Amino acid sequence: NAGVTQTPKFQVLKTGQSMTLQCAQDMNHNSMYWYRQDPGMGLRLIYYSASEGTTDKGEVPNGYNVSRLNKREFSLRLESAAPSQTSVYFCASKSGTVDIQYFGAGTRLSVL
């Protein structure tokens, strides 16, 4: 099983460029999440989607947009990248309330 797949694995952007991080899960999970993890820090929730067709802000949503394209896919878009968005981005999914979150391998993003 593939689980949660994130693309790309690495990306370097210049300030002001835009990009979309892709996430897909094949476990038929309802909920999906986007986190960022700065060096030596914990994971902070950017956006989440409790079910297909819904999205909500997490702790640090500024500068990001998301789309829950269907039940499988949840993308994160940076419209105008800033150096402060340099981080590792993790996508996760879970089946329902109080359930295990399964994480993708992460996208390492550098904004110069």
Partner 1 sequence: QQPVQSPQAVILREGEDAVINCSSSKALYSVHWYRQKHGEAPIFLMILLKGGEQKGHDKISASFNEKKQQSSLYLTASQLSYSGTYFCGTEIWDNFNKFYFGSGTKLNVKP
Q: Which residues are paired to 94 by β-bridges?
A: 31
The verdict on 25 binding partner 1 (CB under 8 A) reads no
Residue 109: how many other CB atoms lie within 10 Å? 20
Bond from prior residue into 8 cis (ω within 30 degrees of 0): yes
| Minimum distance of partner 1 from residue 81's CB (angstroms) | 23
Q: What would the DSSP string read from start to end of 32-97?
A: EEEEEE-TT--EEEEEEESSTT--EE-S--TTEEEEE-SSSBEEEEESS--GGG-EEEEEEEESSS
Q: Is 101 in the site for partner 1 (CB under 8 A)?
A: yes
Counting contacts by CB under 8 A, is residue 55 touching partner 1? no
Candidates 15-23, 35-43, 61-69, 75-83 — which segment interacts with partner 1 by CB under 8 A? 35-43
* 71 part of the interface to partner 1, by CB under 8 A: no
Among 43, 46, 66, 78, binds partner 1 (CB under 8 A): 43
Interface ranges with partner 1 (CB under 8 A)? 31, 33, 35, 41-45, 48, 50, 56, 58-59, 90, 97-106
